[in-house]
Structure 1
């Protein structure tokens, strides 16, 4: 890890050189969600603030998967961005399926170009020929892949569920790579374990979900972590589903206990964070789980947001263990709220 002072000084030197040449600097921040931690926001703010005092012409471009990214930044950092947003629409579900099939296709002509390289790396093996997939396997693989993607209901429902949850094309590509890694080396006798299946995708999806959640935890703001902890504490009391109001009132108890109520977010701000957590799929919408809408013609989607139920999309013990071990950084107050909730009620 590079110390804050070192990276700050290094970037200032670059900007200083650009300023002397009267050049314009454009800073592009990829995966902006990972930049929402307080330390990284401080670096960004100080860097831009310093650049403006040196009359450096500077532009900031943040690339994020979620359109409400700016709302997660501190007000002073938000002020450095304009309200201009370019939103790229998601691909259609049919396009995602086509993308998956194309990504997983084994083209014989492409594979042939790597045959020499593979053979060279496998010289230590006695049966080199058996390590390279035979033509019969490649043909069977393509046939089964086509059936899986285009005709297998269970597979399409699995991908549809993730698509409806807002997953990006990058997620499906990573899912495909993980699925390929689960295949056993093909032989001349083609068996089921040598081909992709819905079962394999279900397994790697579960594996990927844990890794994804852990990486997301580490990029969340303290307020987001505190709200997740509040939901986890509701779980501890046997509450599987909860509304925005339940989360807000539970968190309010914590602030009142420590006499820091003035530091608490407003209901609107808590709602914004909850919506963001849903976009990250750490929290899922449960609709009218409490049966609040009694109207015969009404649907769960008709409920106002503050009454819609939510639930954690991961085991609360995962987050609490990460906080306990220090893998997830948070304030002392939030850590106390996570590890000693009974003392805060």
Structure 2
């Protein structure tokens, strides 16, 4: 007891804040497989039973986990596997293969990765087979230790499942589902995707071999649950080295969420996106304000973080434009309003700019046409304008039809915060073009 107290006394403020930052950032950026599942209890039970039947009883299965990005698909599969691997009968009796559609872009690469993860390079050697199915059949045959009852079950986890659909003839999916339907090596194929229409993308022969089990994750928790998740994620664990600081921190977190201002911020965030990844980004941005001189998160930190989360990236680009480029954007705004969204070309924009310069010659410096063209091209490079496809492919660049990728609200917001914006330019932006 005395040693623990001495240790806590030696735990300086700087170390304390560093530890807080480390624990919470790790929690927000890399959710642990042992982390609590929020609102996924039924899905966990379903998936756990499915995988257990493969690992323990040698029953082949296939299923899809479907949900929007940030809904916890990967966390669910990792959490389920962690819990299953704590059971000795499962741990000693199953092999895992993790594939990702972003990395394994064709069946040849996927087969190579399957071989590597199953440690069968020495078995394959320099052997050459005719087709993908023969290769896969040989690999699975190599895992057998006798009859089907003694074959080693294999779990295939396919992240970004919808990308595997675009492989030539869907050969990988066909063979995996075919094996899961036949009395060969027991395997479980679990696909993770954010596309609700993924089954419509499957070929008829592939779809016929899929079990049609689908597990949906839709972030269905209410606002009260959402607030509780936020509190839990921001609270320090009981094993935090400095007990007194942890108590103060957790008490501050509790009082923070009783503040009506914070309730409003969370309400807006909840209606904007129930995605927990977006919530963690908000908390991460608030956490960066915590320092030795400011050791607890305040309501102003969360308000500031909320503004940063909602920041408009295109509007930010406009803030960094030159006055000439900004004038061209205003000219485009007026032309878009007059012609009700019809495309424009450089010559039209240049003419409008020249009219403005002539009216305000005493305050606005006139630029030569090549300089204005350079500014116009820079706006295209920044993707604030884009060519209209098909309509002006062969036209000279002065007459190439373009569309503005900013709306009026974004432009008017930029006008208000544009640094050192000439008064005449501001007035031009807010006036109607006659």
TM over 0.5: no
Q: Which has the higher helix share?
A: 1
Larger radius of gyration: 2
Q: Normalising by the residue count of structure 1, what TM-score does the alignment of the two structures yield?
A: 0.42
State the TM-score, normalized to the length of structure 2: 0.34
